[in-house]
Amino acid sequence: MSNVPSRVLMENPHLRMYIEELRLQGKTATYVEQLSREMRNLRSYSFIYPVGDPLFIHVESRPSERSSYNVISPFTMAPVEINKIVEKGLARLITPEMDYTTREEHEKLLNELLDMFLEIDDTLEDFDYRPIYRKGIVEKLAANQTTADIIRNSVILDKVYLGTLEPFIRDQYIEDVSCNGVGPIFVEHKIFGSCETNITFSDQEELDTFVVKLSERIGRAVNFRKPIVDASLPDGSRINIVFGSDVSRHGSNFTIRKFSEKPVSIADLISWGTMSSLEAAYLWIMLEHGMSIWFCGETASGKTTALRAASVFINPSAKIVSIEDTPEIVVPHENWVREVTRQGEQGEGDITLFDLLKAALRQRPNYIIVGEIRGAEASVAFQAMQTGHPVLATFHAGSVEKLIQRLTGDPINIPKTYIDILNCVLIQSAVRLPSTGKVERRVLSINEIVGYDPTTQRFDYIELFNWDSSTDKHEFRGEGNSYLLENKIRTMLGVSPREVHRIYQELFDRAQILELLVRRKNTEFETVWRIVKEVYHIGTQNVLEKLESVQRI
């Protein structure tokens, strides 16, 4: 571990102690500032990486087992008995006039209290301590500098942030966090897959106490009368909490679905093979011309990520209204109204997706984005599309047939003749690649909805793009096969049928722009957005020529 910067070791004594313990066990690990997707192909690995001071992660492969994911944190290292003494000592120092409104103010106040309570005594060994009494009460706690630093960071993590869960929240490589009951917490890692963590709950009482405290921190307290809660964490991640053993045989549990404030870009998805540059260019043209597109797939298929990435293609001057249960949609447009449902107490004061979608129709948006359509709000979405408001949405369906079946059946009951108001359906899934054995997200198909034939009672749709699992390639059916490009969009552009090749050339040119971004590794969301705005401003051909004439973007 000689590659760990000395500054990092000096500022984080808990990391230094962890590395020393590894050395005593005869183990090694490589310190890296960031992980890369290429690490997915490693069979054996042991990496330590930072997730924001003072937190670090050690992820290590294990033969025939899940990888281990070890949190290196002052919160998990500080002895429980010291934390209890410190907590009581700080409670006695707090006065009524001490107040705060932000995290920064809270952290500053705690640091001031800790300065008063902790006394440095470097004659003491690590984690030894000496209470200093006054009138039988612990007035101060003496400890060496290393122990004091660990205590300070532990208190800040617990009181200001989410304590045990904070490393998972900060780790950009984590997709999901699962506590299934007593025992270890599991995480789904973007690079290393399913991992078992060193954060565990030893008994049901400890887990119940943690779950209740967590629910109170996020303002949605669980109890025996209300044992199930869905809520958002401060960073926007979704959390589902189930309390007690009445409704869960294994007792209390919780699941966190991570949320990233910085969206994955469409160029990232192309570079990862999730979709092709031609598929992305097709979505670009569709969104430019106000087509309604639904992103469909099973759970954890990446449909929300794809929708967020594609939303960059909407005209920069458009007004967008997004509607969600949990705020996940992020668009770069300035004229953006972001609305979120509200769950009232005992069913009173609820604001549902249905309510927000109806309200959105009065706000004159150019595009409505619905985080996830599940039920009655689908009928309002179709009403919106009928009245000229294009809708982007995610929907839980693994195929076009399943989508239509759910839309036309109970409880949604969209008339079959209305289905073609939805222009385009993208189907996405998590698949295991035969070549690597790794699970990856892939766009399985992009489909154009043509209509319903009441005579044959059949729905007509065109699978314009599809994914070949044997080659891991996205195939395009080619010119002459797109109903939307050759009919709707051609008419909107005033292009004659004989010149329809111009629209396909526009498709290929935009795909080339995206290819250049990927090839030059300029895949940041902000870069893609800047290029899209340029295309709207000076045209595709001018931007393409400009990009081809420069080496760096």
pLDDT in tens, 357-380: 889 988 999 999 998 888 878 888
| Long-range CB contacts for residues 447-451, cutoff 8 Å, separation at least 24 | 447/400, 448/423, 448/424, 448/482, 448/483, 448/484, 449/400, 449/419, 449/420, 449/422, 449/423, 449/424, 449/425, 450/420, 450/483, 451/417, 451/419, 451/420
- Could you give the angle at the alpha carbon of 342 between the alpha carbons of 341 and 348, nearest 5°? 135
* Residue 495 pLDDT greater than 80, yes or no: yes
E-only strand ranges, 209-250: 228-232, 238-242
* Residue 472 pLDDT greater than 80, yes or no: yes
pLDDT at 348: 64
pLDDT at 454: 87
Beta bridge partners, 439, equal 432
Confidence category of residue 352, pLDDT binned at 50, 70, 90: confident
Dist. CA 104–CA 290, nearest whole Å: 43
pLDDT at 1: 55
- State phi, psi for 469 to the nearest 5 degrees: -65, -30
* Residue 115 pLDDT greater than 70, yes or no: yes
CATH classification code of 266-479:
3.40.50.300
pLDDT at 478: 87
Beta bridge partners, 377, equal none
Residue in this structure with the two tokens 């990435």, named with its chain if needed: 309
Dist. CA 86–CA 78, nearest whole Å: 11
pLDDT at 422: 96
pLDDT at 177: 97
**283-309 pLDDT per residue, tens:** 999 999 999 999 999 988 999 999 999
In one-letter notation, the amino acid at residue 107 is: E
* Residue 405 pLDDT greater than 80, yes or no: yes
* Sequence-ordered list of residues with C-beta below 8 angstroms from that of 512, at least 6 positions apart, any chain: 277, 544
Beta bridge partners, 46, equal 60
Coil, strand or helix: which one is 96? Answer: coil
Dist. CA 423–CA 448, nearest whole Å: 6
**122-172 pLDDT per residue, tens:** 999 998 999 999 888 899 999 999 999 999 998 999 899 998 999 999 999
Specify the pairing of strand 46-50 against strand 30-31.
Answer: parallel
Hey, how many other C-beta atoms are within 10 angstroms of the C-beta on 38?
8
> Token digits for 245?
């053993």
> Token digits for 384?
């919106």
Nearest to 293 by CA among 373, 387, 203: 373
DSSP alpha helix (H) spans, 298-425:
303-310, 353-360, 377-386, 400-408
Sheet bearing 253-257, strands edge to edge = 30-31, 46-50, 56-60, 67-72, 193-201, 183-189, 174-179, 253-257, 238-242, 228-232
pLDDT at 299: 85
Dist. CA 287–CA 269, nearest whole Å: 17
Hey, how many other C-beta atoms are within 10 angstroms of the C-beta on 289?
16
pLDDT at 344: 65
* Residue 236 pLDDT greater than 80, yes or no: no
Give, as one character, the DSSP assignment of residue 164: G
pLDDT at 252: 95
Mean pLDDT of 314-332: 91
List the single range of 171-175, 276-280, 349-353, 427-431 with lowest mean pLDDT. Answer: 349-353
* Residue 434 pLDDT greater than 90, yes or no: no
> Token digits for 344?
């009232």
Dist. CA 127–CA 78, nearest whole Å: 8
Confidence category of residue 455, pLDDT binned at 50, 70, 90: confident
pLDDT at 357: 87
pTM above 0.85, yes or no: no
Mean pLDDT of 493-510: 95
pLDDT at 199: 95
> Token digits for 313?
């293609």
- The residue extents of the domains of the chain are 1-164, 266-479
- Under 8 Å between Cβ of 409 and 375: no
Mean pLDDT of 43-63: 95
pLDDT at 347: 56
List the single range of 1-10, 86-95, 214-223, 283-292 with lowest mean pLDDT. Answer: 1-10
Confidence category of residue 2, pLDDT binned at 50, 70, 90: low
Nearest to 114 by CA among 83, 137, 71: 83
Give, as one character, the DSSP assignment of residue 366: S
- Could you give the angle at the alpha carbon of 307 between the alpha carbons of 368 and 382, nearest 5°? 35
List the single range of 45-49, 108-112, 234-238 with lowest mean pLDDT. Answer: 234-238
* Residue 330 pLDDT greater than 80, yes or no: yes
**511-529 pLDDT per residue, tens:** 999 999 999 999 999 999 9
pLDDT at 383: 87
E-only strand ranges, 173-286: 174-179, 183-189, 193-201, 228-232, 238-242, 253-257
Tell which wins on pLDDT, 61 or 375: 61
Dist. CA 355–CA 373, nearest whole Å: 13
Sheet bearing 391-396, strands edge to edge = 336-340, 320-324, 367-373, 391-396, 293-297, 424-432, 439-453, 458-468, 473-476
> What's the sign of the alpha-carbon dihedral 294, 296, 299, 300?
negative
In one-letter notation, the amino acid at residue 84 is: K
Coil, strand or helix: which one is 176? Answer: strand
Coil, strand or helix: which one is 261? Answer: coil
pLDDT at 353: 84
Mean pLDDT of 437-459: 91
Confidence category of residue 249, pLDDT binned at 50, 70, 90: confident
* Residue 260 pLDDT greater than 80, yes or no: no
CA distances in angstroms from 274 to 12, 435, 445, 519, listed in the order given: 39, 15, 11, 16
CA distances in angstroms from 51 to 42, 216, 222, listed in the order given: 21, 25, 30
* Residue 314 pLDDT greater than 90, yes or no: yes
- State phi, psi for 406 to the nearest 5 degrees: -70, -40
Q: What is the CA radius of gyration of the chain?
A: 27
